[in-house]
């Protein structure tokens, strides 16, 4: 069994603080790394050793695997928690960690590589009984006639996607056959630049899907469980704004069947740690889109409904410990919501870094705030604009919405604009209340407002 004594947290912001808390719970030493722009991060006061790894630019600090590994060696860390973003889903980094004789708190690099390539992930999921959209089972060939044959068989509209990436880059929606070849060409170019991999594939395009995802945990002994489902349909430009669990209006047995299929697939591919299977849900069907082989920003939503400390379990799994519970022990209790509070203009979502002059956290039963901000904290312009996650738990969806509305009202952040006022409005939106928000709703409304 691998022995973990010191965990290096290769991340920043609220998630770094979240990981420090879990490590302390387990009695582990912690190392915090930071860039020159980040000396004021809240978690650095709590770690056993804080070390500056490089300049503000993430490519020379949080995205520089060599520097992270160097920091781990210098500080005697034996495990690295990558958090989310940055290097968390980089199989080359995971491999380098393994080669250095250290433990990455996450899946093996080979599994990360399998699921990181969207084509191989799709193939693996299909082979393991996870529902997928009709689409190409390999990278599109170069020959235009072959591309047309494949795509005509799938049917239009369809979406061209990058094999090596996500987040909307390298994606093109093709409404009719005449647009196909241009879309494939430009998607290839963008994918090559963004991910260093120009392979693209196609899937049937869904017009009004919801985003539903399944949280799983799997240990190194072949045990895997699913902890719950989340609905993350309230998004703008592929960035989530509100997440909730369980997804409203979907029968429990459908979610349960899907969850079991995901846990089973995770065990079969030799997955270890925390992971998320993402689906598009439309017309009563779930369609696998990708797996996130890391902790998700929105993991607290599932922690609130399941009572499981996902970060703690992740670390325990990395030590080689078997899961301390079985699927039969897992329950979904009540309803949870999360609002991502970003330092952004609430209308156009433009990032708005600045200094927090004063802030007050909401409280009361069922309210949780995960944040790294404090009075006087200067938000650097170099990174993501997420400054806090406000999470609530209620007896049912209406109760959770009421608690969130009160918490947002109570939340005070002076010095920078935030998305909170927009989220107050969203909670009262009839479509949100009805649980029919799709991943396109917000963007479509914005486009409508502008046109």
Q: Which CB sits closer to another protein, 55 or 192?
A: 55
Q: Which is nearer to another protein, 334 or 380 (CB)?
A: 380
Stretch that binds another protein, among 66-74, 343-351, 367-375, 427-435 (CB under 8 A): 66-74
Q: How close are the terminal C-alpha atoms of the chain, in Å? A: 60
Q: Which is nearer to another protein, 70 or 254 (CB)?
A: 70
User: Considering only 63-71, 111-119, 283-291, 345-353, which stretch makes contact with another protein by CB under 8 A?
Assistant: 63-71
Nearer to another protein by Cβ, of 45 and 221: the residue is: 45
E strands, 55-195, where?
79-81, 103-104, 158-162, 172-174
Among 2, 25, 45, 74, binds another protein (CB under 8 A): 74
Give the integer Cα–Cα distance in Å for 131 and 204.
13
Residue of the chain from 52, 139, 424, 436 that contacts another protein (CB under 8 A)? 52
Cβ neighbours around 297 below 10 Å, total: 22
CB of 376 to another protein, least distance (A): 19
Kindly state whether residue 51 participates in binding another protein, applying the rule CB under 8 A. Answer: yes
Q: Which region, judged by CB under 8 A, interacts with another protein, from 48-56, 161-169, 230-238, 322-330? A: 48-56
11 is a site residue for another protein (CB under 8 A)? no
Using CB under 8 A as the binding criterion, the count of chain residues that bind another protein stands at 13
Provide the minimum distance between the beta carbon of 75 and another protein in the complex, in angstroms, as a whole number. Answer: 6
Contacts of 164 (CB under 8 A, 6+ apart): 116, 117, 118, 170, 191, 194, 195, 196, 197, 199
Helix residue ranges, H only, 210-343: 252-268, 299-306, 310-318
Classify residue 363 by burial, with Cβ atoms within 10 Å: 0-12, 13-18, 19+.
exposed
Asked if 312 interacts with another protein (CB under 8 A), we say no
Angle at 99 between CA 98 and CA 100, to 5 degrees: 90
Which DSSP helix (H) or strand (E) runs through 398?
helix 397-410
Question: Among 4, 44, 53, 174, which residue interacts with another protein (rule: CB under 8 A)?
Answer: 53
Candidate residues 7, 14, 37, 54; the one interacting with another protein per rule CB under 8 A: 54
| Annotated catalytic residue, options 294, 340, 397, 403 | 294
**In whole angstroms, how close is the CB of 60 to another protein at the nearest point?**
9
Of residues 18, 67, 118, 294, which one binds another protein by CB under 8 A? Answer: 67
Residue 12 makes contact with another protein by CB under 8 A: no
Among 17, 19, 23, 71, the residue binding another protein under the rule CB under 8 A is 71
Residue 387 tokens read as 């400054």
Is residue 230 among the annotated active site residues?
A: no
Least distance CB 403 / another protein (angstroms): 42
**Quick check: 420 and 401 in contact, CB under 8 A?**
no
Beta-strand pair 49-54/224-236: unpaired
| 271 in Cβ contact with 213 (< 8 Å) | no
DSSP bridge pairs for 135: 203
Stretch that binds another protein, among 50-58, 97-105, 259-267, 426-434 (CB under 8 A): 50-58
Judge whether 143 and 184 are in contact, CB under 8 Å: no
Tokens, residue 96: 């380098």
Find all residues with CB under 8 Å of 26, minimum gap 6, and list them: 312, 315, 316
36 lies in the binding site for another protein (CB under 8 A): yes
Residues 190 and 182: beta-carbon distance below 8 Å = no
Residues annotated as part of the active site: 294
Residues that bind another protein (CB under 8 A): 36, 49-55, 67, 70-71, 74-75
């Amino acid at each position: 069994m691998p022995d973990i004594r010191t965990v290096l947290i290769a991340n920043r912001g609220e998630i770094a603080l979240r990981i420090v808390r879990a490590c302390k719970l387990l009695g582990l030493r912690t190392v915090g790394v930071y860039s020159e722009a980040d000396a004021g991060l809240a978690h650095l006061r709590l770690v056993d050793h804080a070390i500056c790894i490089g300049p503000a630019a993430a490519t020379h600090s949080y995205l520089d695997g060599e520097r992270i590994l160097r920091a781990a060696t210098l500080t005697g860390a034996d495990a690295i928690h990558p958090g989310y973003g940055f290097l968390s889903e980089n199989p080359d980094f995971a491999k380098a960690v393994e080669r250095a004789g250290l433990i990455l708190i996450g899946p093996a690099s080979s599994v990360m590589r399998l699921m990181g390539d969207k084509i191989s992930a799709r193939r693996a999921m299909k082979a393991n009984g996870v529902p997928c959209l009709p689409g190409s089972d390999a990278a599109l060939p170069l020959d235009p006639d072959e591309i047309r044959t494949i795509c005509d068989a799938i049917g239009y509209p369809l979406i061209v996607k990058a094999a090596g990436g996500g987040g909307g880059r390298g994606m093109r929606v093709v409404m009719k056959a005449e647009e196909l070849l241009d879309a494939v060409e430009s998607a290839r170019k963008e994918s090559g630049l963004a991910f260093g991999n120009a392979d693209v594939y196609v899937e049937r395009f869904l017009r009004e899907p919801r985003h539903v995802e399944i949280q799983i945990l799997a240990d190194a002994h072949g045990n895997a469980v699913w902890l719950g489902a989340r609905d993350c349909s309230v998004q703008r430009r592929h960035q989530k704004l509100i997440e909730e669990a369980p997804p409203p209006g979907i029968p429990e047995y459908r979610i349960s069947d899907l969850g079991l299929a995901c846990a089973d697939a995770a065990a079969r591919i030799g997955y270890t740690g925390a992971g998320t299977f993402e689906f598009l849900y439309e017309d009563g069907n779930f369609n696998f889109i990708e797996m996130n082989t890391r902790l998700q920003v929105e993991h607290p939503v599932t922690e609130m409904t399941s009572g499981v400390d996902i970060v703690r379990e992740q670390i325990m799994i990395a030590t080689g410990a078997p899961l301390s519970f079985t699927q039969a022990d897992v329950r979904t209790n009540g309803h949870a919501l999360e609002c991502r509070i970003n330092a952004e203009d609430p209308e156009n979502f433009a990032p708005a870094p600045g200094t927090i002059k004063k802030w007050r956290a909401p409280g009361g039963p069922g309210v949780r705030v995960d944040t790294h901000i404090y009075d006087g904290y200067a938000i650097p312009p170099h990174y993501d604009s997420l400054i806090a996650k406000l999470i609530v738990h209620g007896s049912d969806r209406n109760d959770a919405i009421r608690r969130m509305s009160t918490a947002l009202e109570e939340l005070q952040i002076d010095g920078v604009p935030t998305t909170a006022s927009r989220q107050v409005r969203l909670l009262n939106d009839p479509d949100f209340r009805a649980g029919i928000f799709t991943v396109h709703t917000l963007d479509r409304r914005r486009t409508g407002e502008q046109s």
